[in-house]
Amino acid sequence: MPKKSAKAFNFTKKELEKLPAPDKHWVAYHDTTIEGLILLHWQTGAKSFYVYKKIEDKPERIKIGKFPDMSVERARNEAQRILGEIAQGQRPTAKRARKEAGILLEDLFRRYLDEYAQHHCTTWRETGKNFRRYFAPWLSREVTGFARSEIQQYINALGTERGHHTANRAYDDLRAVISWGIKYGYLAGTNPCAGVTKFKTRSRERFIRPDEFKKFLETLREETNIDLRDYVYLSLFTGARQANILSMRWDQIDFDLALWHIPITKNKESQTLPLTELAMKLLKSRFQGRKSEEWVFPSVSASGHIVEPKAGWRKFVEKTKLQDLRMHDLRRTLGSYMAMNNQSLQIIGKTLGHKSPAATQIYSRLGSDPIKRAMEAAHASMAGNASILPDNLE
């Protein structure tokens, strides 16, 4: 919870607009005019006003509104009103729960995204699209009307129509949204998702097999969509997640030390990944012909970079004639070839940025050199006697 520190000053629009980007997940700033009024500045750039107060010896954080949509003056007036209610023995969060007992799923989910997911989850945009797709028939319903039995039936049907993995993810999202609503006072009672049975599933094991690599690389070398081609190469060379590769920035690349500094991964942690000779050749080529001073894979999209090359990937896979190959399988391919080269699970886990409490201590003692050697060996196994890169990059 926020604590008073040197980050306390008189809130003004000018001062709040020029706040530096946080170097951690979020930073709290305290207003010196209204005690209890704080502004949370998230790493995503979002800024929101909150009242922070202990109620019955329990710290409570009550959201007031977003800056700059809400002015400093309005935030102070609202903070004073809430603090006045607290002084009279009222609990604003409990009051809000009673007031919004009939909240619709769409409204609750929107608040979940605005107040929590976009600040804590790196895949919140994907979560938003999938949730609205899978729970479209329920968005206009009151959450308090859901029963465990109908949720079970809905997840069962979704599993039949969309697959067990999809149904399990949808269930996890619904349970998380309702649990969040209960925790922060938008709902009262118990979560109707509790006790619902998920599908038993097996982890996907698909990767590009040795007998498939020759055709795959031949097709990749001839690919005319250069952005897609280079994305596929970097996925094979680094094993990084799609979102991290496509949002790669030039200032994250250390060309002298051949390192890639990933500021935040899916596990909400930073990662420094060694870049192999093949990866460096490709990145140097892109840098020389760069179309952006910021993004490695620039785009005219709202994010400024390519988000997900689904159409290009689908056409590419059709040309390879390989069956059931997904983009995420590229990441799994590097790990598989490292395992085939007898690398330890600890080395593979650190390369892929897996988060394992049992192996955390071991990961912390590993340097980049053994990881890089393991990745180089995997690249050599992928190629066999074939050439990996196009002639202009060799």
Q: Which of 53, 54, 51, 2 is nearest to 29 (CA)?
A: 2
Give the separation between CA 106 and CA 142, rounded to whole angstroms: 9
Mean pLDDT over each residue of the chain, to the nearest integer: 83
User: What pLDDT, on a 0 to 100 scale, did the predictor assign at position 7?
Assistant: 84
> What proportion of the chain, given as a percentage, has pLDDT over 70?
89
Query: Is 232 found in the same domain as 136?
Result: no
Same domain (yes/no): 290, 383:
yes
Query: How high is the pLDDT of residue 363?
Result: 27
| Residue 43 counted as domain residue | yes
In a domain, 199, yes or no: no
**If you average pLDDT over residues 77-90, what whole number do you get?**
85
Structure tokens at 294: 């910021």
On whether residue 196 sits in a domain, the answer given is no
Whether residue 349 is found in the same domain as residue 270: yes
Answer yes or no: is pLDDT of 93 > 80. no
Residue 88 has pLDDT above 70, yes or no: yes
| Contact status, residue 118 vs residue 46, Cβ threshold 8 Å | yes
Same domain, 177 and 242: no
pLDDT band with cut points at 50, 70 and 90 for residue 185:
confident
CATH number, position 219: 1.10.443.10
Q: Which residue range(s) make up the domain with 276?
A: 210-393
**What's the CA dihedral at 95, 101, 106, 107 to 10 degrees?**
-20
Query: Same domain, yes or no, for 151 and 241?
Result: no
Q: Are 304 and 248 in contact (CB under 8 A)?
A: no
Parallel/antiparallel/unpaired status of strands 47-55 and 271-274: unpaired
- For the chain, the domain total comes to 3
Q: List, for residues 359-381, the tens digit of each pLDDT value.
A: 323 223 334 556 777 888 888 88
Q: How far is CA 180 from the centre of its chain?
A: 18
Within this chain, do residues 385 and 287 fall inside the same structural domain, yes or no? Answer: yes
Whether 361 and 260 map to the same domain: the answer is yes
Taking only the tens place, the pLDDT of each residue in 310-349 is: 899 999 999 999 888 888 888 888 888 887 777 777 777 7
CATH of residue 70's domain is: 3.30.160.390
Is residue 203 a part of any domain in this protein?
no
First-to-last C-alpha distance (Å) of the chain: 53
Q: Secondary structure of the chain: what % helix, strand, coil (to 5)?
A: 50, 10, 35
- Co-location of 114 and 83 in the same domain: no
